[in-house]
């Protein structure tokens, strides 16, 4: 289920915003903060849909998001990520 109130449940909500808007190797630290976030998909969809250029959002750097947007310029990111989450959490059917 998609969480419209995702920002209030983000793993980074208590951290300093400057921790997510870093360069170079510091981005890996920011991405670790996102790793276990329960609303990672919502955050990433927000950044992709709005083409946010700076910072780490949903576990992806601006460079990673630009590459994704370039490969899929017309994607509806909320739908893509919601479907991916549903498929990842659905039990696998035997014999399919």
Binding-site residue ranges for [4Fe-4S] cluster: 12, 34, 37, 43
Q: How many CB atoms lie within 10 A of CB 56?
A: 27
Residues near 6 by Cβ (< 8 Å), separated by ≥ 6?
A: 39, 42, 43, 46
Which residues are annotated binding-site positions? 12, 34, 37, 43
User: Residues 77, 49: contact at Cβ < 8 Å?
Assistant: yes
Exposed / middle / buried, residue 39 (Cβ in 10 Å: 0-12, 13-18, 19+): buried
């Amino acid at each position: 289920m998609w969480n419209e109130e995702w920002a209030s449940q983000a793993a980074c909500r208590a951290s300093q915003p400057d921790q997510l808007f870093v360069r170079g190797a510091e981005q890996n630290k920011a991405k670790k903060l996102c790793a276990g976030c329960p609303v990672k998909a919502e955050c990433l969809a927000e950044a992709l849909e709005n083409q946010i250029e700076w910072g780490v959002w949903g576990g992806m750097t601006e460079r990673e998001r630009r590459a994704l947007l370039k490969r899929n310029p017309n994607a509806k990111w909320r739908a893509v990520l919601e479907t991916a989450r549903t498929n990842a959490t659905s039990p696998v059917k035997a014999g399919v």
